[in-house]
């Protein structure tokens, strides 16, 4: 199984929207796909129509109580796409794990014994705390959604420093599969400028597909379905399908490294 963490410590940059729609696109392409919601906000879970009222196990039980991934899987109603949901309990996990040995390796441990999926996406919270560290330690590679705005690159350097530390201490083979530009607004000159700067700075690491600002993408979660299902032909959905094709093209290298 290839595991991809979707992380950026900046809030609201499109991590969850990217995780949900890429996971849906890969499932539609035939990959047995697992999405692990590692954010106490549980946005990926509600976005897939799984509410916290359904008291089955969640990512909290995996991280804190040694529950297996298999025991925490919920089906999403979308063929080949399964979810390990998150609930608000997860916000306590950072504190509860403080004295636990190998506390950054809990998700890695759980995923390493899991079979039955070809690919796993982990949706991270907007911080570089223990939850994101668990995701980075468990992942083969990282995908960074980057919103085209003024401080985008500043936040990125902090994230890259963290990746370097994770490589040195816990997960030497952690790769970066790419940076995806999100909420691109072609009417906004600043967005264009930032996108050019990011490409100058990061080169081929930046995916060619750019996700436009698109209201259909923001409407879909309130219906409990991914945008790709809510309106598969809107600009946002088409952009995520193009991004998924590019991602699949980059996966063989990750599989070789895994």
Q: Which residues bind ligand ATP (CB under 6 A)?
A: 11-17, 39, 41, 43, 126, 182-183, 211, 213-214, 217-218, 221, 236
- Residue 218: which of Mg ion, ligand ATP, none does it interact with, CB under 5 to 8 A by kind? ligand ATP
Cα gap 184→208, rounded to integer Å: 12
- Output 43 or 141, the one with its CB closest to Mg ion: 43
Q: Which stretch binds Mg ion (CB under 5 A): 8-16, 23-31, 166-174, 246-254?
A: 8-16
Told to check if 80 binds Mg ion by CB under 5 A, we report no
Cα gap 8→258, rounded to integer Å: 22
- Output 15 or 106, the one with its CB closest to Mg ion: 15
- Output 48 or 114, the one with its CB closest to ligand ATP: 48
Q: Which stretch binds Mg ion (CB under 5 A): 16-24, 70-78, 97-105, 111-119?
A: 16-24
Cα gap 189→185, rounded to integer Å: 8
Q: Helices (DSSP H) in the chain: which residue ranges?
A: 15-28, 43-47, 59-65, 93-96, 106-112, 130-138, 152-169, 189-202, 215-219, 227-230, 235-257
Of residues 237, 17, 34, the one with CA closest to residue 145: 17
Cα gap 14→76, rounded to integer Å: 21
Judged by CB under 5 A, the chain residues 20 through 79 that form the site for Mg ion are 43
Told to check if 16 binds Mg ion by CB under 5 A, we report yes
Q: Name the minimum Å distance from CB 253 to ligand ATP.
A: 26
- Output 20 or 81, the one with its CB closest to ligand ATP: 20
Alpha carbon of 199 to those of 76, 180, 205, 227: distances in Å?
A: 36, 11, 8, 27
- Residue 13: which of ligand ATP, Mg ion, none does it interact with, CB under 5 to 8 A by kind? ligand ATP
- Residue 94: which of ligand ATP, Mg ion, none does it interact with, CB under 5 to 8 A by kind? none
Residues β-bridged to residue 4: 121, 141
Cα gap 131→106, rounded to integer Å: 10
- Output 41 or 162, the one with its CB closest to Mg ion: 41
Q: Name the minimum Å distance from CB 252 to Mg ion.
A: 28
Degrees, nearest 5: CA angle 247-26-84: 110
**66's tokens:** 């040694």
Q: Name the minimum Å distance from CB 15 to ligand ATP.
A: 3
Told to check if 17 binds Mg ion by CB under 5 A, we report no
Footprint of Mg ion (CB under 5 A) = 15-16, 43
């Amino acid at each position: 199984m290839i595991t991809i963490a979707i992380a950026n410590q900046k809030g609201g940059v499109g991590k969850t929207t990217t995780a949900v729609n890429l996971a849906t696109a890969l499932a539609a392409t035939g990959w047995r796909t697992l999405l692990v919601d590692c954010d106490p906000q549980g946005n990926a879970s509600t976005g897939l129509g799984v509410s916290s009222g359904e008291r089955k196990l969640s990512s909290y039980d995996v991280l804190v109580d040694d529950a297996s991934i298999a025991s925490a899987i919920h089906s999403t109603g979308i063929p080949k796409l399964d979810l390990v949901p998150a609930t608000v309990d997860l916000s306590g996990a950072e504190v509860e794990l403080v004295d636990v040995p190998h506390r950054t390796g809990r998700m890695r441990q759980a995923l390493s014994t899991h079979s039955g999926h070809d690919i796993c996406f982990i949706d991270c919270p907007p911080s570089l705390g223990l939850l994101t560290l668990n995701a980075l330690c468990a992942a083969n590679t990282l995908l960074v959604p980057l919103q085209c705005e003024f401080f985008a690159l500043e936040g990125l350097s902090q994230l890259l420093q963290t990746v370097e530390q994770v490589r040195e201490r816990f997960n030497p083979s952690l790769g970066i599969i790419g940076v995806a530009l999100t909420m691109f607004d072609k009417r906004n000159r600043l967005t264009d400028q930032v996108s050019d700067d990011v490409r100058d700075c990061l080169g081929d690491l930046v995916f060619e597909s750019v996700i436009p600002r698109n209201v259909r993408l923001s409407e879909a979660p309130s219906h409990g379905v991914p945008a790709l299902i809510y309106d598969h032909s809107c600009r946002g959905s088409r952009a995520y399908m193009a991004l998924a094709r590019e991602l699949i093209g980059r996966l063989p290298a990750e599989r070789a490294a895994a």
